Amino acid sequence: MQLFKDKKHLNSRETEWIEGAKRGDRRSQKAIYDLLSAKMFAVCLRYMGDRDAAEDILQDGFVTLFSKLDSYSGEGSFEGWARKIFVNTALMSLRKKDVLKNTEDVDAAWNITSDDPTAIQRIGYKDLLKMIAVLPPGFRTVFNMYVIEGYSHKEIAEALEISETTSRSQLQRARVLLQTKIKEKY
């Protein structure tokens, strides 16, 4: 099913669900939940690293989504708008846990190298997601934001209240750790 790519792709049923959910209609909210929950759970799981925490973030994200639904103008992708809510919900939780408190400077990370940069080409998508899920929270968060979500280091630094240098360091260390795990497996 094509999912809310932009206003012209919204079918009348989807538009009706959004309008109904804005009015607090439970059936419309359930329809939106059914439509988005699997994809948004995957986003939450990538950031949180375990199912229980991801389920908590999913629930909090939907509460936020429905409370802010009036701010969705109908312009652009509804799924993209919703995804930002779930990412921000996960980031708020990680910020509260202070996942980046024990970080090292980027200079230490640049001294770590891999002698098999092509190892990542031999791994499957699901295996890679499993490896990302077990990264330390700071590494996982920055890796997800930079590599998967497409945030810049400046945006990551602002969102996580860290320096751009710390963001770069965490990304580099995540990459090295992933390469090591891939090399061990393959």
> The pTM is what?
0.70
CA torsion sign for 134, 135, 140, 143 is negative
Sequence-ordered list of residues with C-beta below 8 angstroms from that of 179, at least 6 positions apart, any chain: 114, 116, 117, 119, 120
The 10s digit of each residue's pLDDT in 86-145 is 999 999 998 887 765 554 443 343 343 444 445 445 567 778 888 888 899 989 999 999
Domains of the chain: 7-97 (1.10.1740.10), 106-185 (1.10.10)
